[in-house]
Structure 1
Amino acid sequence: MRFLFPSDYFNPKKADAAYSEQVACMQNAGFATSVISLESLGSGSSKIIPVPTPGSKLVYRGWMLSPKDYELLVNVVESTGASVLTSQAKYLATHYLPNWYPLITDLTPETKFYAVNDDLESELNRLGWNKFFIKDYVKSLKTSVGSIINQPSEIKTVVAQMKKFRGTIEGGICVRRLEDFVPETERRYFVLFGKPFAPLPDEEIPEIVFECAKRIKSQFFSVDVIERRDGTKRIVEIGDGQVSDIVGWTAERFSQLWVD
């Protein structure tokens, strides 16, 4: 198993500083690492340094990629005779909310999906909810007006700000129903080859994470769990493990996950 990280913009042979600690921990755990220039993916000149051994399996650890860029990444890996742990289809299975939502509808807030050009204000009026959480297939708006609105008429502003600050809306619009969560209880878990892992070795893993591990067949993904004020555990996000931050984790603990 080899781990592939984004390279530094000014030094294509070195990992981006944001991932330097993970690189060191992976190497200390006995794993090989390489880097790739994400900026040159579309040019056809992107190379993996050092070149992986033919027949080896690569795990990408880096920034979120669009479906097209992830496909380009896979092509570069396969051109060396190596292969990826996560195919493009598997990447999108957990990266895009509409793909994982049908598998766990009873474990996560109710969600509706729309095209950007739909009459969103009318659609929200039909829902009749008190509050709405707005995001695209991948991310929510964390700046400007934010992602939570009380009135359907506010959806136009949120969408406009998403386009402005993110440059694009990926996939479409997801409207999630607000539940009474306790923000400080949110916790990230990883599932690798069907086995859930917690940020701490001896930490108890909620049953809802094991349920996700049964229902979602991807080999490596993250599960974000939060507690409602009535004490119920809920899933707020599923993500492809390769592009999920290790928030709440140490780089050393994350590398140990692969050793285990």
Structure 2
Amino acid sequence: MLLVPADVLRPRRPDAHFAAEADAAREAGMDVVLVDHDALASGGADEAVRRVPADAQAVYRGWMLSSERYADFDEALRRRGVVLRTTAEQYRRAHELPGWYADLAEITPRTAWTEGADRSAFVTACGELGSGPAVLRDYTKSMKHYWHEAAFIPDVADATAAWSVASRFLELRDSDFAGGFVVREFENFVSREVRTWWVDGVCRLVGPHPDTPDDLPDADLAAAEPLVRGLGLPFVTADFALREDGVWRLVEIGDGQVSDRPRSVPPGELPLT
């Protein structure tokens, strides 16, 4: 069955953002069951899944959850005899950059990270990259819409300027800060991003990125396919962009359950099974 968030104001209906996917799943013969995202996000997993029938296999399509909250979700469902296709450990590996980086390092920008928000650890991570520009994020998210103040570091060797960017990033992320700082070597991309969807290591859908839903470059994924397959994860997305030297590079991996679908991709094309 497919689990989707309920509408906050009309709890017997799917959240409008996922309603079309719920309709497509029903048409494909799947049972659709609503869960309470607000309860999930606030630590009330048992309350969130109270309407889920017992003893079934399930896949989730909904708003992003922290790895900790997803683990609560997984445990609450297991107490009802319901098994999510993506386990809590698999979700963390896809959702947090340190979980997938080592397996995909050869096709993605060079990266260093910290555990937590300690300044000295941040300076050490910057030092691992040496010098030159970098992009800052945490384990799960960047602040790319605040590019010059909280994402782009002109030179990681300038510790004072780099920490200024990191401090602003922390301020903006606030309680949503996840895991630690992630510093990624800047690469000049010259195309829009492509979002690909993978089920059990097989690329099932190639589409545009949600930020540019009407622009789909023709991507060469040959180098990426065996590496993404090697992750051994059941349902992930992988975003790619073309570097200025003509090489397609991995921007990030995400868990497919919480990756946004571009509006230009029909909901029935989403590979849920």
Tell me the residue number matched to 1:171.
Answer: 179
Tell me the residue number matched to 1:117.
Answer: 118
CA drift at 1:37: 0.7
2:70 is equivalent to residue 70 of structure 1: yes
Matches within 5 A, 1:62-141: 62-115=62-115, 116-119=117-120, 120-121=122-123, 123-124=125-126, 127-141=129-143
AA aligned to 1:22 is E
Provide, for residues 18-70 of structure 1, a one-character-per-residue CA deviation record: whole Å limited to 9, x for no partner: 1111111111222111111122232355243753351x211111111112211
Q: 1:127 to 1:225 in 2, by over 3 A?
A: closer
CA contact (8 A) 1:208 1:234 kept: no
Tell me the residue number matched to 1:37.
Answer: 36
Give me the identity figure in percent: 27
CA contact (8 A) 2:97 2:139 kept: yes
SS in 1 for 2:136: strand
Size of the alignment, in residue pairs? 252
Q: 1:60 to 1:9 in 2, by over 3 A?
A: same
CA contact (8 A) 1:133 1:147 kept: yes
Which of 192, 197, 208 aligns to 1:190? It is 197
The gaps in structure 1 that reach 5 residues or longer are none
Tell me the residue number matched to 1:15.
Answer: 14
SS in 2 for 1:69: helix
TM-score, length of structure 1 as denominator length: 0.88
AA aligned to 2:266 is T
AA aligned to 1:88 is A
CA contact (8 A) 2:220 2:248 kept: no
Tell me the residue number matched to 1:252.
Answer: 268
CA contact (8 A) 2:46 2:76 kept: no
Q: For 1:122 and 1:33, locate their aligned partners in 2 and report how far apart those are by CA, in whole Å.
A: 48
Note the aligned Cα RMSD (angstroms).
2.2
2:3 is equivalent to residue 4 of structure 1: yes
Provide, for residues 125-144 of structure 1, a one-character-per-residue CA deviation record: whole Å limited to 9, x for no partner: 56332211000000001344
Tell me the residue number matched to 2:151.
Answer: 147
Q: For 1:14 and 1:125, locate their aligned partners in 2 and report how far apart those are by CA, in whole Å.
A: 51
CA contact (8 A) 2:111 2:129 kept: no
SS in 1 for 2:253: strand
The gaps in structure 2 that reach 5 residues or longer are 208-217
CA drift at 1:118: 3.6
Which of 169, 174, 179 aligns to 1:162? It is 169
Which of 165, 175, 180 aligns to 2:188? It is 180
Q: Which of 236-245 and 159-168 deviates more?
A: 159-168
Q: Which of 27-36 and 240-249 deviates more?
A: 240-249
Tell me the residue number matched to 2:210.
Answer: none
Q: For 1:209 and 1:246, locate their aligned partners in 2 and report how far apart those are by CA, in whole Å.
A: 21
2:60 is equivalent to residue 60 of structure 1: yes
SS in 1 for 2:106: coil
Q: For 1:16 and 1:138, locate their aligned partners in 2 and report how far apart those are by CA, in whole Å.
A: 23
Tell me the residue number matched to 1:214.
Answer: 229
TM-score, length of structure 2 as denominator length: 0.84
CA contact (8 A) 1:108 1:236 kept: yes
CA contact (8 A) 1:36 1:48 kept: yes
Q: For 1:44 and 1:18, locate their aligned partners in 2 and report how far apart those are by CA, in whole Å.
A: 21
Q: For 1:241 and 1:205, locate their aligned partners in 2 and report how far apart those are by CA, in whole Å.
A: 21
